[in-house]
Amino acid sequence: MKAGIDAGGTLIKIAYLENHQMHYKKFSIEELDTAISWLKLVAPSVTVALTGGKSHIIQKKYFPRGVIIPEFQATCDGARLFLLEENKKIENPFLLVNIGTGTSWHVVNGDTYERILGSGVGGGTFTGLGTILTEEEDFHQLTILANEGEKGNVDLLVRDIYEMAEPPIDGNLTAANFAKGRNVKHTDSDRMASLTNMIAETVVLLTLQAGAIHRINNVIYIGSTLVGNQSLKKNLELYTGMFGLTSRFLQNGEFCGAAGACFSV
């Protein structure tokens, strides 16, 4: 058996291959000991490849013979594997947008890749600022709140500015995030909907600029922040399409780094 471990800032993601079948498991970074104990239990003689920001820590403590794969290489290799696995055809080159704790942009062209951009706006923003806004710390509960909320109760929308007049652009677009502040009544769900929308807008605007510079129209979104986060996925798809780009989501996209590392050994 062989396994790939993607040790990021928030999660430990494991992909392991057994009898030509790939399996996936993830743990919180605070559960590192539990994650490694679980892996050694199900695969006592496993060969391990590591990637991610905390890979050196895991190598030193648990797998001194483990191979470390560069994070961006593992992520892009994993995305190519999943495209084949899910039978998703996409023209090269394409933009790979990884929304993890932060967000990274890669140009993938065949077997080559290049990281072109990074942003601190991502999953860490969703959970960290989400907790500040709602006092809810659980990621899944935050996604539920976001799915139930109404951003227009917190954001100043284009239609709010034009009121009775016909706006020159879609009136549902955001004129200013969180601009209504304390002036109107809103709920935790509304605040999470507004936060999710702000993250989506930021990611898509940077994606649009990257696509224009590199003349790329195809985008693949991956990352653990998308898991169960229907509001974020909906907004990403909406805004990406609005600007004329084509977006796709990979079913196991959060495990791209772990899968790419696994298949490197």
Catalytic positions, written as ranges: 71
- As a three-state string, the secondary structure of 147-180 is HHCCHHHCCEEHHHHHCCCCCCCCCCCEEECCCC
Say if CB 120 and CB 135 are below 8 A apart. Answer: no
From 182, 186, 162, select the one nearest 172 (Cα to Cα): 162
Pairing of strands 47-51, 21-28: unpaired
Tokens, residue 71: 């994070």
Pairing of strands 94-99, 103-109: antiparallel
In the chain, the largest separation of any two C-alpha atoms, in whole Å, equals: 69
